[in-house]
Structure 1
Amino acid sequence: MKLRFLGGVGTVTGSRYLLSDDRHRVLVDCGMYQGVKTLRRRNWAPFQVDPRTIDAVVLTHAHIDHTGYLPALVKQGFRGTIHCTRATHELCKVLLPDAGFLQEEDARYAHRKKFSRHENPEPLFTEKDAYEALKYFESRHYHESFEPVPGFSVTFTPAGHILGSACVHVTHTGHRRTVVFSGDLGRQDDLIMRPPEPIDHADVLVCESTYGDRRHADTDPEKALTDIISQTAGRGGVVLMPAFAVGRAQMLLYLVHKLMAEGRIPKLPVYLNSPMAIRATEIFCRHHKEHRLSQTQCELIDENTVFVRSVEESIELTGRKFPAVIISASGMASGGRVLHHLKTLLPNPRNSIVFAGFQAPGTRGDAMVNGAESVKIHGEYWPVKAQIHNLDSLSAHGDYEEILTWLEKGSLKPERVYVTHGEMVAADVMRKHIRERLGWHAEVPELFEEVDI
């Protein structure tokens, strides 16, 4: 069995790992590149392996940087089965068509406004392409062993990152060698998700390192949000929270409504302006047994949030000036309806923009939390006068200490650890932490490198 790193190396995006023997090829994750332009261009490069020769895909979770290239893969000839957990399947039914729709909209907008260097901008894939890809999905339960192809046995265990997220355990039944992919790992004490389940065996481990070089800020997110919302409302401003549609939007809704119910912040209208996040919230509430929130707490979110579904309602909301809390995708301000809110709210110092977690280099979110005086949206530069906050303590990724704690809780003694899904410095620092703390052989692979398992 061989492992080739087709993405997710030296960056936190574009996760793609190819497992193969002399008969079959299995792709673990099929993510789209996001962030800086040099990374986004990789989405348009020919796939490193002919998609027609890939027999199956196995997904760790639903986020676009792990699933977003699937419609393009199918468009190029992939005809195998795509395996994932049941909640990941439900979420992909929302995320993938939405991603295709947004790309089509962005292409049309770029053509209409003439800010693309291409005469006729084209999307990487369409909403129709996404629905076609969904025909190849097959969902599985956690801890259920299955064979995506003969000779490869796969099991999912909870990773605690978002609803449906999993560590992927792959055993080659002929050689009895096991490689485990951590996927994105959650926190040890997350507000809404349970911690990742410890793992007991892996000959080879592929481990993420998003926060490999840092710890999360030791701040109380409830107090921070209380101060931000109260002060913003006091000066007549709007609080805008760019949020990932899956996981972060639900956490923010829960916190805001909890603070209002406790009388710690003024009662304000709360809007969720993202069709994708709305549907993800409905899925989150249906699967309440897979996370910390009870059905009653889910109902608190549902009953007290104004769900902004139509384009007309979104346009109307963008034009309103009264104090409110608006949660809108995307989490790094890379696309979606949040961009229209930013154009309206950024120039006014009474407003606040609250980011909640990691901002990939090159994204608008990264620029704003690092003090940019203006950001480019839809071909124009907009001044950043609003108050910018980043509640890093709300991140859904475990920091390096939490990842090490997770590794120590199992009975692991891997022969090798490949550190991926982190910026170059973060991945290398995580490698050092693993070597020094656990005594394991750890290394950071090169993009497109192939190793023997």
Structure 2
Amino acid sequence: MKITDLNREGGIGSNSMLVEAGSYNFVVDAGLHPKMTGKEAMPDFDHIGDREIDFVIVTHCHLDHIGSLPVLLARHPKARVFMSLPSQMLVERMLHNSCNVMKRQKEEKRIPEYPLFTHEDIDGIAGRFEPLKYKQPLQLNRNGEALTITLYQAGHVAGAGGFQIEHGGKTVFFTGDVLFDDQRVLNGARFPKAKKFDAMVIETTRGETERTEGTTRESEVKRLLKKVGETIRRGGSVLIPVFALGRMQELLTLLNDARKDGRLPRCPVYGAGLGLDIADYFDHITKRTQLISYTRKVTKELRLKRPPRKLVPGKEPGEPGVFVLSSGMLVERTPSYQLASTILGSSRNAICFVGYCDPDTPGGRLLETKPGQTFLFDVLDYQCPVLAEVDRYEMSGHADREEILEFALAAEPKSIVLTHGDPGAREWFSQALEAADHPVNVIDPEPLKAVEI
């Protein structure tokens, strides 16, 4: 089996892999790089050449994994598309939103090739999405050559899946993006245990993140709610930047639970954008499956308010409260970025990050800025001292590095391919795997260069 990373830059970005297994060719994910624009944000699909793609596997619906899916499917009109049922229910909404964003960016940033696909293109491929049930193998046969796909719940976000490929007497496991901890609205990964794999492809997102001893997800939730309560009681506002898919629905549920049982005082809770729309999709998924637990009751009980339409940098919102807004990395021109510019300059406020922040994003830069230093909101042409409390809470949707390492080593694979991680994160995994008792061939693939496993 050969694997080629189609992400031009490697690392975390336009996630996509070409896999060649005998006469079968398939692609895992087709993302868009969140820090790049235009065609450079896409995987290098030209590298596929004249190979006929038999199928595409979608691990989950974050845009760095599905954002270029319509482009790939337009080039390969015969390819089948496999994903979980929750992902099938979410993917069209995520892609339509991406199309809207690209249309706006076409005007704002003058990107001539945007949008990369249209709403009609999305509608045209929707009928090709085939849902797979977790733990139920799908066997493909062609001229006596069999290939079996088995999807497993991966935690991370609703619909996320790791998967197992059986072909030619070999078994390869792809973790995708994984979280082993249970969340409030979603169970953690339910990967096969005590099973041996010939090879594995593992995510390495948190390879550079060392969790403080004694810190658990539960203790971090408790610490976050304590900070929110303290800030509200002193008359301040709290911004919690979140990803629209997964983090927002999780945080809204936690806040609602804490208000009902008295851990938080009654105060306005603000939400806006795609995440609230997705909350309705979560309600539908809850009714159709037992895979998540989120209903419209949460948003009704919170009596969510919309943040003010006009936010002026340096001028705090009229009524303090808790603002649960995307993007999770405080990306420019998003609601969280705009709101941060209004509250960062006051010591009574707080900004609480609850997920991964790329160092090159505004969120990543803010986390590295010391209290009292000046922070620049570049696109707003505004700067102010960092006076609000800024902190990170370990509630990431990605598993700790030690958990992934333990799972990988227990399977005793001969080869492990590293994906979805910055260079430092991959280096940690390389060293940890090479130091293990079980001998393993660790492969950190270069972009667009096939590796054999």
**Shorter-chain TM-score above 0.5:** yes
Gaps of 5+ in 1: 111-115
Contact 2:27 2:53 in 1 (8 A): yes
Give deviations 1:330-356, integer Å, cap 9, x for gaps.
211225433332343344444322211
Amino acid at match of 1:184: D
**SS state of the match for residue 333, structure 1?**
coil
What is the CA–CA distance in structure 2 between the aligned matches of 1:338 and 1:349, rounded to whole Å?
18
2:104 aligned residue: 105
1:163 aligned residue: 158
1:146 aligned residue: 138
Amino acid at match of 2:156: H
Amino acid at match of 2:402: E
Give deviations 1:18-60, integer Å, cap 9, x for gaps.
112464420011121123x599934386642248832321011
What is the CA–CA distance in structure 1 between the aligned matches of 2:67 and 2:343, rounded to whole Å?
29
Tell me by how many angstroms 1:450 deviates.
0.8
What is the CA–CA distance in structure 2 between the aligned matches of 1:152 and 1:44, rounded to whole Å?
25
Tell me by how many angstroms 1:271 deviates.
2.2
Give deviations 1:136-162, integer Å, cap 9, x for gaps.
311111122224674432110111211
Tell me by how many angstroms 1:209 deviates.
0.8
- TM-score (ref. length: structure 2): 0.85
- Report whether the alignment pairs 1:31 with 2:24: no
Give RMSD over aligned pairs: 3.0
What is the CA–CA distance in structure 1 between the aligned matches of 2:224 and 2:111, rounded to whole Å?
44
2:178 pairs with one of 176, 185, 192: 185
Tell me by how many angstroms 1:192 deviates.
4.1
What is the CA–CA distance in structure 1 between the aligned matches of 2:422 and 2:439, rounded to whole Å?
21
Amino acid at match of 2:367: V
| Alignment map for 1:14-413 (pairs within 5 Å) | 14-21=14-21, 23-35=23-35, 37=36, 41-43=40-42, 47-50=46-49, 53-76=52-75, 78-108=77-107, 110=108, 116=109, 118=110, 122-147=114-139, 150=142, 151-172=146-167, 175-199=168-192, 200-217=195-212, 218=215, 220-274=219-273, 276-288=274-286, 290-291=290-291, 293=293, 298=295, 301-306=298-303, 315-316=308-309, 318=311, 320-334=317-331, 336-371=334-369, 373-378=374-379, 380-383=381-384, 385=386, 387-407=388-408, 412-413=411-412
**SS state of the match for residue 368, structure 1?**
helix
Give deviations 1:177-233, integer Å, cap 9, x for gaps.
222110011033544432322332421100111112333342622332233223332
Tell me by how many angstroms 1:9 deviates.
7.3
**SS state of the match for residue 395, structure 1?**
coil
Contact 2:7 2:14 in 1 (8 A): yes
Contact 1:272 1:306 in 2 (8 A): no
**SS state of the match for residue 170, structure 1?**
strand
What is the CA–CA distance in structure 2 between the aligned matches of 1:144 and 1:100, rounded to whole Å?
33
Once the two structures are overlaid, the 10-residue window that deviates more, 439-448 or 216-225, is 216-225
Once the two structures are overlaid, the 10-residue window that deviates more, 219-228 or 364-373, is 219-228
What is the CA–CA distance in structure 1 between the aligned matches of 2:111 and 2:447, rounded to whole Å?
32
Give deviations 1:373-396, integer Å, cap 9, x for gaps.
324454634436352534332111
| Cα distance change on mapping 1:160 and 1:44 into 2, 3 Å | closer
Q: Which structure has more RCO (C-alpha within 8 Å, separation ≥ 6)?
A: 1
Gaps of 5+ in 2: none
Identity of aligned pairs, percent?
Answer: 24
What is the CA–CA distance in structure 1 between the aligned matches of 2:325 and 2:150, rounded to whole Å?
34
Contact 1:418 1:443 in 2 (8 A): yes
| Cα distance change on mapping 1:368 and 1:24 into 2, 3 Å | same
What is the CA–CA distance in structure 1 between the aligned matches of 2:420 and 2:119, rounded to whole Å?
27
